[in-house]
Amino acid sequence: MTDREDAVAVQGDWELLRRDVNMLGSLLGEVLREQGGELLFATVEGARLAARRRRKGDPPAAAELAEILEGLDAGRAAEVVRAFSAYFALVNMGERVHRIRRRRAYLKTGKPQPGSLEAVLAGLAERGTALDRVREVLSRLRVEPVFTAHPTEAVRRTILAKEQRIARLLIDRMEKTGRTPQEDEILAARLREEVTTLWQTAEHPGTGRTVGDEVEHVLFYLTDVLYRVAPVLEESVDRAMASVYCTVRSREISRPILSFASWVGGDMDGNPNVGPETILATLARHRELILTRYADEVRELFQHLSQSTSRVGVDPEVLDRCRRYAEAAPEVDRRIPVRHRDMPYRMLLWHMWERLDSARNGAGEVPPYRSAEELADDLAIIAASLEHNAGHNAGLFRVRRLERRLAIFGFHLATLDIRQDASVHRRTAAAILGDPAFPELPRAARTERLREALEAGEMGERGALDDEAERTLGVFQAVVRAREELGEGAIGPYIISMAQGADDALAVLLLARRAGLTDAAGQVPLDVAPLFETVPDLARAGETLAGLLNEPLYRSHVRSRGDRQIVMLGYSDSSKESGIAASRWALYRAEGELTHAAGKAGVDLTLFHGRGGTVSRGGSKPRAGILAEPPGAVRGRLRVTEQGEIIHAKYGLRGIALRTLELTTGAVLEATLRDPDEAVVPAEWVTVMDTVAGASRAAYRGLVYENELFFRYFREATPIDVIERLRIGSRPPVRRRTGRIEDLRAIPWVFSWVQNRHLLPGWLGLGTGLAAGLAEHGEEVFRAMAARWPFFANLLADVEMVLAKADLEIGARYAGLAGEAGGVIFPKITAEYDRTRELILRLRGTTELLEREPVLRRSIRLRNPYVDTISLLQVDLLRRWRAGGREDAALERVLKSTVRGIARGMQNTG
């Protein structure tokens, strides 16, 4: 496609999206009139039009907008905010549906969509990558999204289901072919019904969120979306291989590429509400839901596989299995209607459903399936019989799809990771060892003491532990029970937050042994994963891992785990501590050093990326972020967190979820098979980035941590005081209430800066870093880096997007809330923003932000006037609420609504 054709296609795409957005906006206007009355509609419409004119530079419009918004009573303000928030929900849905439209358009043309598996494989083939090499990598390719909770995400499951139905109606509306006018009318009525009931449903529960609520939120995506699309991704590998490499359409992969994991219910770090009870309850809920899905699908197979022995042959293994089940459960067999007696697949499936039901309920007339492998064995017999007896177009595909689901989800649905802070393990080890001074010993001394205890089998006195130690050991006892009842796949790695040395890993082994978590060989059957989070810890990560793998006791443990080691990298805390440029560079270097240390020790390393949703917390476009990894870091595997704030955007619709998985899988395949010569990073570039990161970190910390007025500015120029009162997360927003930025969690930190439109954590310091690098190394090397180094190009692109979303004109209104601190700090922020913007445009060779991404640029411009309205209202409400001593409950409720509305409009929280 030529540049002109591409531009025309983009314009056409935009017109289709604009038409959808206008339709949804008009529909919402009708609902507002009907449900809220003419006064509400007039207020919202007046604010909307004034905000748009203000954005176009109409001077009177700003005063008109202020006149509409300032002084609104709490009740009217709440309805106005709800109206704009509802608009954003519909626009967000419209944009996601538009992405599905674009995907369908590619499929209709027969051309592979950029980033698709077919496009990736075509690129590999063009570069001469041999079929055997591709097959070898596919055989070990692993992609594992890990879902987390989110302190600012509290959308009801009811709302999620309504939004899914709205999306499906919009998709139906896209396909006009063959619909009658009456059918169009019915579709429009159904759409209006969903939007109206959405308006009439409270978005958020009035009570605080429990861990159970957060579990259900994540399970919605696993059971309602990913259960459906995961096997489709696996099947698309076959299609892409057949298309590009002309392979026979078969199961190209011997085991699944995809698996899923969750932190929700197992993440204890800073959350007193998570412990042994939530771990077991969460795993039981996982098992209940996935067994229900399998039972439903077996019922569907029962309806479809009606083959009669008088019409088609059946393998003797099927008949033999039916006989065995009849002998084991004669009462069940007698209940099968006589009309099904010559339908052996139905006979077998009836018994299979009964076994699933027994497994789901814990009791029944037949022995339950004890493992996914037992169910897989029954399905394999049916699949083989269909394959041998003319069943390729008579049900085999359905059975194969269920087999794929079973291989992906097992009987546990999603692996549950466990996470706890290293300091908790140290205190518990101290209690076990009877040595209160243990946590304060030097690291080497702690390592030696733990080594002695493990070698001697020193487990401490029973019953001599405090509450924290008992609860911590209870977690390991819960793991023992989970493995016994649910299988090894139910439990993922045990992640050690703020890990700093070998002692932190040995402490986990001590606790596990004390709790009885050992196998027949006396080893701990648990992957222990240190998490490196701060820039100093990342700088030492390679050395730390090397020391850990040189520790004989731990090396023996790793050998028992198949010589595999997981290391987690934290993006959020390193960015909050040192700024985005220093954080990204520290992570990049750490990955290379960790890969080298593991390779030297003969250990197979999996890097687990703890990315957040926003750029400042490691968020990036899936494909670009993976291809920006250092050479050798991917190696066919990706384990990455999917934060609660972005799960809906990436996995809320089946078409979007499939595209997310496809982009991720294709990028992992491409990064693994990348030409080694292309991946080499010149030493000069490394030196340049050292300069950029160092100067950037100094500028960031100089303002955030070393300027005495900054903390006051943060407290007064952002709605952090409102965010702290949002009763929607099960985890507290601060680690310790010391009144320091260091003790605020990364998510509310970032969320606050999104709210006041600064988006400061996503760019602060980079401008100074680039300026220092340019002064020392010259512009030519930077242009080469931007053109040929995916890491650097991705950093610039990510920050450019953040700069485009930020709006310091609106930000100035928030700065006005901070008095003296605002007068000092805001000019410094503005100067750094301008510097960063100027240098990014210069290095990328463009004249305006997002010049190369016109669709995203237009999307931001479309939203800005409406976000402005809520932002300006929020500033007014903050001023009034704070002036009243923060005691007006009605104003506080509206402020909480403004926080959620701005988050929806910006499509960013924390």
Residue numbers annotated as active site: 150, 576
* Residue owning tokens 């017109």: 15
Amino acid at 36: G
**In Å, what is the CA distance from 801 to each residue of 620, 771, 861?**
10, 20, 13
Contact status, residue 353 vs residue 299, Cβ threshold 8 Å = yes
Residues recorded for the chain? 910
Spatial CA neighbour of 805 closest among 686, 893, 737, 902: 902
Contact status, residue 494 vs residue 505, Cβ threshold 8 Å = no
What distance in Å separates the CA atoms of residue 180 and residue 178, rounded to the nearest whole number?
7
Contact status, residue 499 vs residue 531, Cβ threshold 8 Å = yes
What distance in Å separates the CA atoms of residue 111 and residue 846, rounded to the nearest whole number?
29
**In Å, what is the CA distance from 140 to each residue of 75, 242, 254, 256, 605?**
58, 19, 9, 9, 13
Q: What are phi and psi of 417, to 5 degrees?
A: -80, 155
- DSSP SS3 for 421: strand
Contact status, residue 215 vs residue 285, Cβ threshold 8 Å = yes
What distance in Å separates the CA atoms of residue 214 and residue 212, rounded to the nearest whole number?
5
- Please report the DSSP string for 851-865 in residue order: TT-HHHHHHHHHHHH
Q: What angle do CA 748, 753, 754 make, to 5 degrees?
A: 95
Contacts of 688 (CB under 8 A, 6+ apart): 773, 777, 781, 782, 785
**In Å, what is the CA distance from 826 to each residue of 708, 771, 811, 829, 830?**
14, 20, 9, 5, 6
Contacts of 485 (CB under 8 A, 6+ apart): none
Burial zone of 539 (CB within 10 Å; 0-12 exposed, 13-18 middle, 19+ buried): middle
Tokens in use for 366? 């037949």
Q: What are phi and psi of 661, to 5 degrees?
A: -65, -40
Amino acid at 275: G
Number of H helices, E strands in the chain: 39, 8
